[in-house]
């Protein structure tokens, strides 16, 4: 995975010291964070830190706020109280350029796996490169290697509606990591696939973590969490009663 090790995109600037050169910097940090929606508090007094190269699972019952917390992790939502810091900078202090940098340093696998149905799989996966203006520089060989890595080389020209559930999930993961982000956030990445495919997707995420990427997976699949223990040192964050319980507890 040479494309991933060297990085499809090297940031032109960063805030102080990068996570690669200061290993004790927290990639994502929540300090007494709360989030309210529709007049009700969904998350309350959340304090948690994700270190570079760490692997975490986020669990909790449906409606507990897992997706909301994930969105707070990459600045799609702002906390109603407390502070969220990404790569050492408070999200409230970020300007447009900062947000654009975050989008490049954080890869997100969304729960609903949205694609442009008129474009083939390869072009959908390469869209982040195209938007950033880096497709001509890094798109060719790197994209083909990535397609092979997720097992989609033979489906490169297929349209999204032609993909199976597992193929869509793998395409979503490929799109999320095409820019070689420092952090990979995956919201229920195995929710619509069978156990065999869940294991395949998990192996891809574990490999990313072994390359030094910070990984956070939101899931309700306890079997998937247990299966991870033999492969990588992982920790669990559990949302209950609007708060994080057993934050950082060993699996």
And the tokens for 115? 């694609």
Pairing of strands 214-218, 243-250: unpaired
Give 130-141 pLDDT, tens digit per residue. Answer: 887 765 455 567
Give 208-229 pLDDT, tens digit per residue. Answer: 999 999 999 999 888 888 888 7
- The pLDDT, as a whole number, for residue 20 is 43
CATH code of residue 36: 3.40.50.300
Dihedral over Cα of 177, 179, 181, 186: its sign: negative
Q: Is residue 11 part of a domain?
A: no
Q: Is residue 142 part of a domain?
A: no
- The pLDDT, as a whole number, for residue 2 is 54
- Is residue 56 within 8 A of residue 206, CB to CB? The reply is no
Q: Can you list the residues of the chain whose pLDDT is less than 70?
A: 1-25, 134-140, 246-251
Q: Write b or e for each residue in 194-219: b if 16 or more Cβ atoms lie within 10 A of its Cβ, otherwise e.
A: eeebbbbbbebbbebbeeebbbbbbb
**What's the domain count of the chain?**
1
- The pLDDT, as a whole number, for residue 249 is 47
Q: Tokens 């309700």 map to which residue?
A: 220
Q: Is residue 172 part of a domain?
A: no
Q: What is the pTM of this model?
A: 0.85
CA-only gyration radius of the chain, Å: 18
Q: Is residue 199 part of a domain?
A: yes
Q: Is residue 232 part of a domain?
A: yes
Domain holding 76, by residue range, is 28-118+179-250
Q: Is residue 140 part of a domain?
A: no
Q: Tokens 């927290």 map to which residue?
A: 26
Q: Is residue 139 part of a domain?
A: no
């Amino acid at each position: 995975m040479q494309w991933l090790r060297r990085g499809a995109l090297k940031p032109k600037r960063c805030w102080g010291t990068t996570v690669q050169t200061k290993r004790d910097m927290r990639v994502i940090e929540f300090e007494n964070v709360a989030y309210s929606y529709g007049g009700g508090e969904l998350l309350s007094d959340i304090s948690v830190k994700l270190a570079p190269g760490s692997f975490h699972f986020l669990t909790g019952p449906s409606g507990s706020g897992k997706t909301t917390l994930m969105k707070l992790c990459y600045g799609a939502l702002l906390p109603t109280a407390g502070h969220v810091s990404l790569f050492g900078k408070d999200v409230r202090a970020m300007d447009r350029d900062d947000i654009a940098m975050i989008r490049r340093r954080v890869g997100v696998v969304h729960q609903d796996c949205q694609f442009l149905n008129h474009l083939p799989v390869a072009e959908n996966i390469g869209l982040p490169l195209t938007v950033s203006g880096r497709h001509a520089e890094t798109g060719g060989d790197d994209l083909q290697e990535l397609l092979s890595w997720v097992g989609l080389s033979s489906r490169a020209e297929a349209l999204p509606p032609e993909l199976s559930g597992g193929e869509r999930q793998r395409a979503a993961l490929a799109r999320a990591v095409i820019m070689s982000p420092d952090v990979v956030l995956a919201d229920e990445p195995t929710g619509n696939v069978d156990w065999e495919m869940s294991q395949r997707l998990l192996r891809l995420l574990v490999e990313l973590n072994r390359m030094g990427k910070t990984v956070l997976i939101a899931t309700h699949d306890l079997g998937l969490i247990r299966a991870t223990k033999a492969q990588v040192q992982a920790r669990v964050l559990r949302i209950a009663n609007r708060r994080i319980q057993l934050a950082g507890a060993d699996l």
